[in-house]
Chain A
Amino acid sequence: MPTFEGYPRADGPPGVRNYVAVIPTSVATSPIADEIAAQTGENVRSTPHQMGSDPPAAAREQIERTLVGVGTNPNVGAALVVGLGTERIAAADIAEGIADAERTVETLTLREEGGTVATVDAGAALASDLWDEISDRSRVECDASELRFGVECGGSDATSGIASNPGVGAACDRLVEDGGTATFSETPEFIGAEHILADRCVDEEVRERLLDRVDLREATAELMGVDLRGAQPSPGNQEGGLTTIEEKSLGAISKGGTTPVRGIVDYAEELPVGGGLVLMDTPGYDVESVVGKVAGGAQVIAFTTGRGSTTGNPLAPVIKVTGNPKTAERLANNMDVDASTVIEGESLESVGDRIYEKLLSVASGERTAAEQRRLEEFAINELQPNELEKLRGGV
Chain B
Amino acid sequence: MKGKVLGDLGLHMAADDNVVTAIVDAEAGATLPYEGTTVELPDDVQFGHKIALVPLEPGDDVLKYGEVIGQATETVAPGEWVHTHNMESKRGRGDIAAQAEAN
Within 8 A of A (CB), among B89-103: 89-98
* With A158-B48, A192-B69 as contacts: A348 and B93 at CB distance below 8 Å: no
Check B91–A218 contact: CB distance below 8 A: yes
Contacts between the two chains (Cβ within 8 Å), count: 114
CB distance from B15 to the nearest CB of A (A): 16
Among B49, B70, B87, the residue within 8 A (CB) of A158 is B49
Among A245, A251, A326, the residue within 8 A (CB) of B92 is A245
Check B89–A245 contact: CB distance below 8 A: yes
| Interface residue tally for chain B (C-beta within 8 Å) | 33
Indicate if B67 sits at the interface (CB-CB under 8 A): yes
Indicate if A223 sits at the interface (CB-CB under 8 A): yes
Q: Which residues of A contact B46 (CB under 8 A)?
A: 241
* With A159-B48, A241-B50, A243-B50 as contacts: A342 and B91 at CB distance below 8 Å: no
* With A247-B64, A250-B69 as contacts: A162 and B92 at CB distance below 8 Å: no
Check A222–B94 contact: CB distance below 8 A: yes
Check B23–A243 contact: CB distance below 8 A: no
Per-residue contact bits, chain B 39-65, to A (CB 8 Å; 1 contact, 0 not):
000000011111000000000000011
| Interface residue tally for chain A (C-beta within 8 Å) | 40
Indicate if B76 sits at the interface (CB-CB under 8 A): no
Report how far A193 CA is from B67 CA in the complex, Å.
9
Check A224–B48 contact: CB distance below 8 A: no
Closest residue on chain B to residue A196 by CB atoms: B67
Indicate if A274 sits at the interface (CB-CB under 8 A): no
Check B95–A241 contact: CB distance below 8 A: no
* With A342-B1, A348-B1 as contacts: A250 and B67 at CB distance below 8 Å: yes
Within 8 A of B (CB), among A102-118: none
Known: A306-B48, A342-B1. 13 other contacts (CB 8 A): A192-B69, A222-B92, A225-B95, A225-B97, A227-B92, A227-B94, A243-B83, A243-B89, A246-B69, A246-B70, A250-B67, A324-B48, A326-B47
Chain A residues within CB distance 8 Å of chain B: 157-159, 161-163, 166, 188, 191-193, 196, 218, 221-229, 232, 238, 240-241, 243-247, 250-251, 306, 324, 326, 342-343, 345, 348
